[in-house]
A and B are shown apart, each in its own frame.
Chain A
Amino acid sequence: MNLTLKIWRQKNAQDKGKMVDYQISDVSGDMSFLEMLDVLNEDLNNKGEEPVAFDHDCREGICGMCSLFINGEAHGPDRGVTTCQLHMRKFKDGDTIYIEPFRAKAFPVIKDLVVDRTAFDRIQHAGGFISVNTSGNTQDANAIPIEKDNADKAFDAATCIGCGACVASCKNASAMLFVSAKVSQFALLPQGQVEATDRVLNMVSKMDEEGFGACTNTGACEVECPKGISLENIARMNREYLVASLK
């Protein structure tokens, strides 16, 4: 395949940034999207130009490091995958592909396609945990039976990889899907009950403070989420929040 790439280039957070055109040839359908960018970068490198900076690490869809807004969609046109799992067979010879960073006020650009997503970490510091000592002196794991259905739902919420696609896809740059996934995981487990009130209040307040927008139930986050985190979690968080606010 021969492709035209229109890629956002931005030297650093202060730089204005602009779209730059690149041509790439001999792209095979078996390549992942990031491998295609590797080939482009090798080429740029050989020509003495600076390669395009982009975030990536595990390249098997689980670390949540890769990002990229591809043709107007977080992680590109395929559903239920991260950019590292997107393969070039999803594109056609002669296509033009727009590649941009995950844009949001709370995700400032570091360079080119790389953004700073540490706001997510700071929300977690505000309550994304169960306060238990790590000494191992806890009760036997089977002493807390958990209904399979709840355990499975908690697991589904816990599979969030923190990539930020939800924020990038939301017209308000809201982090509700991300935060609600964490709140839900603990809300569904008996271990999480003790701190439930503080957790949801603190995490939501931190989310607002970090500059994420409000949720208007558009649902784009769920559509673009590579892990299929459900909007149900937002409903559950709203309920948790309401109950906590009334206490």
Chain B
Amino acid sequence: MALDSKTPNGSVADKWTNHKNKINLVNPANKRNIDVIVVGTGLAGGSAAATLAELGYNVKAFCFQDSPRRAHSIAAQGGINAAKNYQGDGDSSYRLFYDTVKGGDYRAREANVYRLAELSANIIDQCVAQGVPLAREYGGLLDNRSFGGVLVSRTFYAKGQTGQQLLLGAYSAMNRQIGRGKIKMYNRHEMLDLVKVDGKARGIIARDLVTGAIERHSAHAVVIASGGYGNVFFLSTNAMGSNATAAWKVHKKGAYFANPCYTQIHPTCIPVSGDHQSKLTLMSESLRNDGRIWVPKNIEDAQAIREGRLKPTQLKEEDRDYYLERRYPSFGNLVPRDVASRAAKERCDAGYGVNKTGEAVYLDFASAIMRYGKEQANIKGLNADDDALVKKLGTEVIANKYGNLFQMYEKIVDENPYETPMMIYPAVHYTMGGVWVDYNLMTTVEGCYAIGEANFSDHGANRLGASALMQGLADGYFVLPYTIGDYLAQDIRTGKISTDLPEFEEAEKNVRTQLERFINNNGTHSVDYFHKRLGKIMWNKVGMARNAQGLNEAIEEIAALREEFYNDVKVPGTMDGFNQELEKAMRVADFLELGELFAKDALHRNESCGGHFREEYQTEEGEAQRDDENFAYVAAWEYKGKPSDAVLHKEELEFNDVKLVQRSYK
């Protein structure tokens, strides 16, 4: 099947408006007869469910947590971008669009990105109207800060808990509709298959995680908003339950999976402390506004620090290598995430790492504390030469800005970051790849949509900070509710979809067989044992830097591990009740397929771009070397039974409004 992005004609700035004007509408009376399933209730799914219900559709929403308020969007810290230009620093929809396309290393679809930038300002208005308490200045107006990869201040925030506040906003909008009976909420439910009737998505098979009951749910359209697949690495910043199952099941039912190898490695995570580690904790990128990143200049000092003979605070200014400021003078510590991550890895690989395992760099607030302290002393008319006083005042400013992050760091690492620099290292964070969708956010399965992190569309090969929240909410509040009407307008005479259709029966039977297989397997190793092994292969050979040899090895190793998993995994308990091991087994089974496709995608893309760094393709200075002539396309994979047989389809990317150039942050 040829990929049709259905991008509207006209200039990039007019596309969305023109498209909306021509889109098919559904009469309010008919909306009452149409059911929509939304899988996942984070920023994208929650806002979509609320809006669709408000428009009049009957919504059934599903989440695996005990409440939609727990979706992992809640953990996003730093902020949400919006081209409001409240600061008057020259921001505009075009600039946000430009920064995003450039930040994504020119591998995103222009029209989608422009729409995202255009809608960004509305998101802030919407959230404020819902009572989301975003940070304010003393004048009562909204405050902004700056994030990596941009030169304007367009990030709105609520301390270090922006995701929480925005998610609770979407959740409250959902609550209103649940209270009205327009959303039927299914907590602790997991989607385990998509049901297609006559080629169209018509429902799902879900498992009630408390009773174990396997349920059939029908609808006129199915929306996948299940987030990303970073947990394929086992260790990531994702929540423990974040999984690929819903997205992977629709892929197996005909939805193409795009750019799986585009994974964001976030530069500011707390380093791994030992083998018991279950998950990684991110420190917001906003810290790079004030923190300076460095490692020792001399390898002997790095060695001494690792062995505990030297403290970082004892190292003189001239013995420190502020490598981001050195390499990228114009963006400094605020280079985009992929650039910052690779630079940290480069220093650590060269032997300058500062923790026991040599996999950490410093994020230092000492100079920011003194700078802010001096400013405060001047404002308050106090002695700006009194270092102790200045330090105290500066510490207060930093505590106000990042207090909860510093506290979190101290709890985990047991060191006070106000006194000694934080240690950070890159970790798997966000997946830019996902289910392929057209401009209407529909997958290659008719009637099946994918929104938020679950789709591939807006970030290209790298996501800039504070853009994930923006995409989730734009898709859910403002894009999908329009575009889905275009499709549903053909369904007003369809009537209720029966769950007695043979397609439901067959899908249910398949799900049941898979569950039974795990329960009866009686192998020797736990699910986590296999998941951790998959994670090691992924991190070592498909991680921050990849090469053809490693990728070929990874593909073989993952296929072999998958076979071992099915032969040897042990899942205790039964399937007719609450069984967390069984839940994990079903998810890891999907990761074991996705991981292989991920490596296959990385192997075929003979270039470096954004979060995909192939060691064979780099400039003399160690920067990513794109190949626009051969790879300016979206790689969309069609499922053909197993990952090694997946067939590649290409959506050529056209750039009319942004000129493709080598990204430079120097």
Contacts and interface: CB of A to CB of B under 8 A. Distances in A.
A161 B131 CA distance: 17
B436 to A, nearest CB: 26
A148 B139 CA distance: 7
B589 interface: no
Given A58-B72, A124-B175, A125-B178, A148 B138 contact: yes
Interface residues of B, number: 82
Contacts, number: 218
B276 A38 contact: yes
Given A50-B573, A185-B133, A34 B69 contact: no
B79 to A, nearest CB: 14
B136 A151 contact: yes
Q: Which of B136, B210, B578 neighbours the largest number of chain A CB atoms within 10 Å of its CB?
A: B136
A59 B240 contact: yes
B429 to A, nearest CB: 12
B140 A145 contact: yes
Interface string B105-127: 00000000000000100111111
B578 A89 contact: no
Interface stretch (A91-99, A111-119, A169-177): A111-119
Interface string B270-291: 0001101111011000000000
A144 B75 contact: no
Interface string A118-145: 1011001111111111111011111011
B414 A87 contact: yes
Contacts of B100: none
A234 B86 CA distance: 36
A146 B140 CA distance: 4
Interface stretch (A186-194, A207-215, A217-225, A239-247): A186-194
A77 interface: no
Nearest to A42: B526
Contacts of A89: 414
Given A62-B161, A87-B411, A141 B128 contact: yes
Interface string A174-206: 000000000001100101100000000000000
Interface in A43-90: 45-46, 48-51, 53, 55-65, 78, 80-81, 85, 87, 89
B580 to A, nearest CB: 6
A60 B409 CA distance: 10
A136 B411 contact: no
B381 interface: no
A136 B276 contact: no
A28 interface: yes
B165 interface: yes
A46 B282 CA distance: 32
B50 to A, nearest CB: 5
Interface in B519-539: 526, 528-529
B165 A125 contact: no
A128 B528 CA distance: 38
Interface in B66-104: 66-72, 74-75, 84, 86
A56 B278 CA distance: 12
B411 A134 contact: no
A30 interface: yes
Contacts of B273: 30
A117 to B, nearest CB: 6
A57 B65 contact: yes
B75 A145 contact: no
A2 interface: no
Interface in A138-165: 138-142, 144-148, 151-152, 154-155, 158-159, 161-162
Nearest to B159: A155
A63 B130 contact: no
A168 to B, nearest CB: 15
A124 B581 contact: no
A31 interface: yes
Given A151-B135, A151-B136, A129 B176 contact: yes
A110 interface: yes
A235 B373 CA distance: 36
B276 A59 contact: no
A145 B143 CA distance: 11
Contacts of B623: none
Interface string B176-211: 101100000101000000000000000000000010
A39 B571 CA distance: 16
A42 B165 contact: no
A63 B75 contact: yes
Contacts of B139: 145
Contacts of A64: 69-70
B29 interface: no
Contacts of A128: 172, 175
A35 B235 CA distance: 13
A57 to B, nearest CB: 4
A132 B142 contact: no
Given A64-B69, A186-B131, A45 B570 contact: yes
A12 interface: yes
A129 B130 contact: yes
Given A45-B581, A134-B50, A191-B130, A65 B65 contact: yes
5 contacts: A11-B577, A58-B239, A110-B578, A120-B67, A141-B125
Interface of A: 11-12, 28, 30-32, 34-36, 38-39, 42, 45-46, 48-51, 53, 55-65, 78, 80-81, 85, 87, 89, 110-111, 114, 116-118, 120-121, 124-136, 138-142, 144-148, 151-152, 154-155, 158-159, 161-162, 185-186, 189, 191-192
Please name the 10 residue pairs, one residue from A and one from B, whose CB atoms are nearest each other, closest first. A145-B140, A136-B122, A129-B172, A125-B179, A141-B128, A155-B133, A138-B129, A151-B136, A154-B133, A58-B239
Interface of B: 47, 50-51, 54, 65-72, 74-75, 84, 86, 119, 122-142, 158-159, 161, 164-165, 168, 171-173, 175-176, 178-179, 185, 187, 210, 239-241, 273-274, 276-279, 281-282, 407-408, 411-412, 414, 477-478, 526, 528-529, 570, 572-573, 577-578, 580-581
